[in-house]
Structure 1
Amino acid sequence: MTAWQDSLRQVQGRIGPGAAHFLRWWRQSLLAWVPARWQWALGWSQARLLLQPAQGQLQVWRDVGGQRAAVASLPWPVSPAALERVLDPRLHALPRVWLLPPGQVLQRRLRLPAAAGDRLRDVVGFEIDRQTPFDASQVSYDVRNLGAAGEDQLDVELVAWPRAQREAWQVQAGEWATALAGVDAEDVHGGALQVNLLPPPQRQPQADPLRRWNLLLAVAAAVLLVLAGTQLLDNRRDAVQALREQVDGAARSARGVASERSQLQAMLDGARYLEEQRQRRATTVEIWSELTRRLPDGTYLEKLAVENNGLQLIGLSREASQLVPLLQASPLWRKVNLTGVLQADGANSGRDRFTLTAELQPLPAAASSTTPEAADADAKRAP
């Protein structure tokens, strides 16, 4: 064993008994505030039936925390079944303990180390042959813990019952010897020593009166635990469903935003394309300005149409045959052609009706800024 393990065991030996003694003291202090009857009813205190034959009667007491209350008095001898018939139903589950009169047992006070508090019976068993004229096989014994006696010390009391007296008692008790949960003894003041001198193999097992309630409480706790787990699972499932719906809504919103963004981008691309196309060709004002400069005097236009890249002119002119070379030199269009034949105007004005077509072409760099009209328009837009 290493040094730290030895130290740990020493610390446990010092602290363990003190902690156990404190817990016992604390429990007894709390129970002192509760009436004994309530302690017995709630199962917080040990209760038992004490039996003692005296003066031809079997006296029966209910003992709760060292306090006795008379229950019944039956003529002795009496059978255990007869006692069952006169007992209150609440007392049937209490253990039966035989109470020996004073002087039937041997009592010896001992002082032991506090570390022996957890195994008092085993430790005291080695002291029987030194404290009594009997060895451990010749007596039935129990140990009373009388409390702390200074630092790391305990006061205990050995209570021994010689086997010869026990056998004589078994003959006297008759069938009660096999129907008891224990044997206790009175002290010189008439109080019970609170020991059990009956050997463990001979003790009649008693059902725990709270066992049924404990089982019911355990089952109820298990059911409540299952219900709580089910409720928790349902809550998690609802939370997941709500989160899924929230995510789906966010996804739909994102898809809507993406669709609107796509539409906006398409509109911007279309507008950009139209702007590029508009910038590549002359505006209507520029076309009018160019025609005004290039058409000779005496020429009238009845129709001017611009469709896509095509330009169509319909009108009257005295120099209709010269219009093609006059207009061909313009940088705004190309492929100027007369469509059809020239037709004389019937008003004797000397004018011919013509139809011209041309193909608009992209403007050269900064061409739109060379026209006076465009310059005037830019000047008006300037702040």
Structure 2
Amino acid sequence: MAALAGVDVFRRLQDQFIDPVTSCLAARFGGAARSSGKLRLTAAGAEFFAADSESSMQLGSPQQDGAKLNAFLHRDTRGDKPEVEIEIDPHLVMIRQVRLPSAAKRNLVDVLGYEMDRLSPFEADQVYYHFTPDPEQQGTDWLAGQLTVVQKQRLDPWYQMLSELGLAIGRVTLVDENLPLMLKPRQSGVARSGRSATMLLWLAVLLLSVVTAGGLVWQQRQIAIDLQHKMQAAREQAAESMRLEEKLSARRKAIGMVSAQRQDYLAVSDILLELTRLIPDGSWLQRVNLNSDSLLVSGVSDQASALIALLEASPMFVSVRFKSPVVRDRRSGKEKFDLTMNLTQGPES
């Protein structure tokens, strides 16, 4: 428990104190980080844009094209470890709206990591993730916002290639968006010229953590207990909401399928109207039998063989044929027939 609290102390101090101070030291002693260009990651690979925006190159894979990118950058070696901005195709990430208890603000990174397997198909150690709060939900009992998740296996090979080329990872955004996202590994330092100052800061942090560890352990334990109770209640409420949403989605899907099937069916009245239009004078229908996708009509006619061509001329009927041989009625002298045919669409019930 103490070890976990110490890690949390370091993480908080890094986010709130070390990173801002080391950035200032880098600007003071090593100069501001110089941009070497922009790497846009897509499902097909990547494209690198030079900082002057006048040239670019396609990259197929980080394993094969690292040397090619190094040669492309070799002509510009001023300064020390320039940064590369990262743009990620939105198709590579998963974005969803989430809602957490307001108490999660105190330890948001760990709470999201703990809940990652419920909020996404992945475990926390498989992804980089960033939470963007919804400003309209500020001041309520809930912390609502947008969760952006990307698999590490999509980014780490490219990050490793940049590291091997001596390039630092700068700002990470989605394509056509300007909001920076924490979709990268935590940095252990800044420019090489600022490493000595960073080491001194780490020594100060270690001393400070020894003094404050006892109080922070107790405080974190109380926060964890309180947050666990609230998260359990929120988890139960979320599970109930998901069950209701699944039921509603299933009913909507069923309604949609019924509507689609009704559009594909012919109305029985339309079929009878078409038969009335096509059957010529001198022919009478005595029986109509309608199945799911076929039609059987029986009757008498002066010339039954001519009915096949008349019925096949309709867009409603196909494969018109006699079901049985035509016979002549002794009393009327007309031909008795039984015709069967397929419907281009099923009848509407």
- TM-score band, normalised by shorter chain: 0.3 to 0.5
Q: Which has the larger radius of gyration?
A: 1
**Normalising by structure 2, what TM-score?**
0.34
Relative contact order higher in (CA < 8 Å, ≥ 6 apart): 2
**Normalising by structure 1, what TM-score?**
0.32
